[in-house]
Amino acid sequence: MNFLLLLLCYLFLFTFILHFSNGFSDLDALLKLKASLVAPNRSGLDDWKPPELNPILPDSHCSFSGVSCDRNARVTSLTISNVPLYGTIPPEIGILNKLVNLTLVSDKLTGELPVEMCNLTSIKFINFSANSLTGVFPGNIVSAMADLEVFDVYNNNFSGKLPLEFVNVRSLKTLFLGGNYFSGEIPEEYSEFPSLRSLGLQGNGLSGAIPWRLSRISTLEELWLGYYNCYSGGIPPEFGSFKSLRLLDIGGSNLSGEIPESLGNLRNLHSLFLQFNNLTGGIPPTLAGLTSLKSLDLSNNNLTGGIPESFAELKNLTLLNLFLNHLAGPLPAFIGDLPNLEVLQLWENNFTFSLPENLGRNGKLLKLDVTGNHLTGTIPEDLCKGGKLRTLILMENYFFGPLPENLGSCKSLTKIRIMKNFFNGTIPAGIFNLPALTMLELDDNYFSCELPAEMYSESLQSISISNNWITGKIPPAIGGLVNLTTLSLESNNLVGGIPEELFNLKKLYKINVSGNNLTGVIPASIGSCSELTSIDLSLNDLYGEIPRGVLSLLNLNILNVSRNRLIGEIPSKLGHMKSLTVLDLSYNQFSGRVPSDGQLKDFNDTIFAGNPNLCSPHVLHCSSKSTFKSRPIPKSKLLIPIFTIIAIMSVIAIVCIRIRNKNRIEKMKIWKLTAFQRLDFKVEDVLGCLIDENVIGKGGAGIVYRGSMPNGVDVAIKRLIGRNHGFDAEIQTLGRIKHRNIVRLLGYASNCETNLLLYEYMSHGSLGEILHGSKGAHLQWETRYKISVEAAKGLCYLHHDCSPLIIHRDVKSNNILLDSDYEAHVADFGLATLRDAGGGSECMSSIAGSYGYIAPGTKYAYTLKVDEKSDVYSFGVVLLELITGKKPVGEFGDGVDIVRWVRETISEISQPSDAAAVLSVLDSRLNGYVLSSVVDMFKIAMMCVEDESTARPTMREVVHMLTNPPAHQQCVIVR
């Protein structure tokens, strides 16, 4: 068979020589390449043009970008990298038979490799990594490449079995086949490479046991087998006999069993990555024999015991990752003596006692994370001795004492997160001026100092010092934190007023200073912080009125000013702030009538409680108490006129009320029921269900009731706030479309005051309620994936099958409803807008969407221009919710949403890959899932949440990707 393939190659070679003899030159071949590599309507390789002045110039092509030639003007090197060509590699590549180097990296190439590549008999280096090449890999193309040394197709879409032909290429030193969709077992023949130094098979769909015979490759220096592969069994003990191995990476591969002690024999090994597996037992003390080791990652396994004392011999160690295991015991003192240690991550274990006193004394420490252990004691003084410490994370331990003062001069710090400990004393003043610090989280400690009088930082975005004993005033210098987005100072002992300078921070979107002793008025400048979404000033001693500037905050979701001494009337325009979902004005000294405008009438009355001078909106006359004193008049002289006035006014009032009520009742009786299909009930049946006991949901747009009709059918009844709050949008949208995955509008009822929308009832409520509630564990992966496909199909119908197309504008997990079979239905079209298929973005009059689902930094967020890619971003957030089990906001620290958290989490992985990224953020409640399926959805989600809208796929493309995943070896992960 191999003989026939070789013969075929020689026939191709003869054919191309014949073409060449007839005048088919390297220039012609390059121009053919350009025509194929550059897809239609794309640009690139613009200087690849035939010579105009001298058409027969023999070496004109040698000046093309990326092209090198020999003295005979034959092309010897072709290098094109990071140019989005979107085309394919044509058969004419075989004409360039003098090529030594062929590098086409990150060019977005597609299609299959042409078999004519077998004519490249002079080739030594081939690199097609980071493209989208597809098909079963044509192994025969390398049969005649006798001098081939490097072959790299990492991160493409090749499939099928691993090709065996590479074994016969005697000169091959580097083979990278990772990041594709190869399946099956690793061939035993791969142990026969005579001179291979680097073998990369990671990120495929390989299965079976890892062949122990791979250890026979005596020249092998680097071996990548992990991520996305799903092996059975454990690490072959024979791997300890590799003679030249410098790197071994089998992370994220479903490995089980214990770590072989024989691995300690790999004297030349500098990197050992076994993270994200199911390894058990203790850490072998024999690993101390890895005297060249620099990086050791055993995280996210089921290891027990402690850190072996023998590890004191690992003098070259720079990275030690042991997080997410079941390790216990004290941290050995020698860890602080390791001369080259840079990264120490031990979070979520059961370590006890204190951090080594000399930790950081080597002057090289970059990152320390020991969250979620049982550590105590004080913080070592020398953590930032070398001025390199970037991340200090000590959350949820039992540390005490003050912070080292020199942390205030550690200019390299980017994050300090030390919540939920017992720290006390002062916060080093210099921390608020550190040039690189972005996040400062000191919540739930016992700091008792004042905030410093001087603050300036262009990097600090989030400050959270809640639940401490901070005293003094909020300094005006806080206005120097020019990029601050989140300020949380609640539950302290702050006094004085809220400084005007605070609201000069244009990027501030959350402020919480509740539970202090602040006094004075709320600064009028609060209205200049247009990005504010959450304001909590409750439990203080503030007075004065609510500033009118609050009404200009179009993004405001939360406003809590309860338990202060605020006065004046409650602005009626609060009811017209459509973004407002949480409001609390209780226990103040407001006066006048309680406004009932807009959505205010649907808030619970408790938000106005504790304001004795407020009048009910149903009271005809609302008088305020007089604040001045006059000469008293004898009561006897007042009685007669008072009684007379009261009697006259009572008669008039009774007559007016009776007339008004009669008219209102008559109007209220005139209900019109409009049905979009046959309904076996009447409007009276619907009205009888509008009682508190039937309420199943409330929101800014209205109240939803469950209604049981006489025929036994349940319907959802949505009573809209106001006469036309979302009513026209819902009727225009749902009244004319029918799709299995879009909630069905049965009809609507209306009179002159109220609109009721009637939907099919969804017994399991919303995806968000289930996923983020106590029943979230019941939604296992198969169901979650099904929901994602169904919701995507619903949105795809809106975007691509409706004319004009429909943009939802409020896609979120709470607007995806689940029926009794957990089938998904897209709902709530109160913000939907119609757009001509050929039109551009539409300018909206108000910001739509929900916090955490709106793309940051895009035109939609700031200029209110929307298109269907806004929905795509929001849907990407929903996919991330399904993968991580987390809410879009509120679980990652102030100022961080789910997209940013995912990006930051995966950026910190020591050996990045798709599988490692998924496993680092995956919902811990998931069990029995197919890892390849999760990775597929994760990739789609990250495409959907691209910051640039043009980089996001369409919903049609999303549906195609979800319903046509690449073929993988099915590997079920059981936790």
Measured in degrees and rounded to the nearest 5, phi and psi for residue 183 equal -130, 180
Question: Do 852 and 897 form a contact (C-beta atoms < 8 A)?
Answer: yes
Dist. CA 447–CA 471, nearest whole Å: 9
Q: Is residue 844 exposed (0-12), middle (13-18) or buried (19+ Cβ within 10 Å)? A: middle
User: What gap in Å lies between CA 103 and CA 77, rounded to an integer?
Assistant: 8
Question: In angstroms, rounded to a whole number, what is the distance separating the alpha carbons of residues 867 and 948?
Answer: 13
Amino acid symbol at 104: L
| Three-state SS at 314 | coil
Is the CB of residue 902 less than 8 Å from the CB of residue 943? no
Pinpoint the alpha helices (H) of 383-512: none
Determine the Cα–Cα distance for residues 492 and 318; give it in Å rounded to an integer. 40
Beta strands in 391-544 (DSSP E): 391-393, 398-401, 415-417, 422-425, 439-441, 446-447, 462-464, 486-488, 495-496, 510-512, 517-521, 534-536, 541-544
List 297's β-bridge partners, or say none: 273, 321
Burial letters for 719-731: b for 16+ Cβ neighbours within 10 Å, e otherwise? Answer: bbbbeebbbebbb
Sign of CA dihedral 387, 391, 397, 402: positive
Q: Which one of 369, 810, 828, 923 is the catalytic residue?
A: 810
Q: How many CA atoms lie within 13 A of 613 on its CB side?
A: 16
Distances in Å between the alpha carbon of 923 and those of 621, 741, 865?
57, 25, 34
Phi–psi pair at 897, nearest 5 degrees: -105, 180
- The DSSP bridge partners found for residue 200 are 176, 224
Give the CA radius of gyration of the chain. Answer: 35
Cα-based distances in Å from 257 to 232, 236, 288, 407, 811: 10, 10, 20, 42, 44
Where are the strands (E) in 831-872, listed by range? 833-835, 842-843, 865-866
Structure tokens at 334: 């020698």
Can 597 be counted among the known catalytic residues? no
Edge-to-edge strand list for the sheet holding 613-615: 495-496, 517-521, 541-544, 565-568, 589-593, 613-615
Number of H helices, E strands in the chain: 13, 57
Please state, in angstroms and as integers, the Cα–Cα distance from residue 920 to each residue in 206, 773, 883, following that order. Answer: 21, 22, 11
Is 334 in contact with 311 (CB distance < 8 Å)? yes
Report how far residue 737's alpha carbon sits from residue 742's, in angstroms, rounded to the nearest whole number.
Answer: 9
Q: How far, in Å, CA of 584 to CA of 550, rounded?
A: 14
Give one word for 973, left, alpha or beta, with left for phi > 0 and alpha for psi -120 to 50: beta
CA 754 to CA 912: how far, in whole Å? 56
Are 731 and 744 in contact by the 8 Å Cβ rule? The answer is no
**Kind plus residue range of the DSSP H or E element containing 81:** strand 75-81
Question: Both tokens of residue 247?
Answer: 């790197």
One DSSP character per residue, 356-413 reads: -TTTTTTS---EEE--SSEEEEPPPTTTTTTS---EEE--SSEEEEPPPGGGGG-TT-
Catalytic residues, which ones? Answer: 810
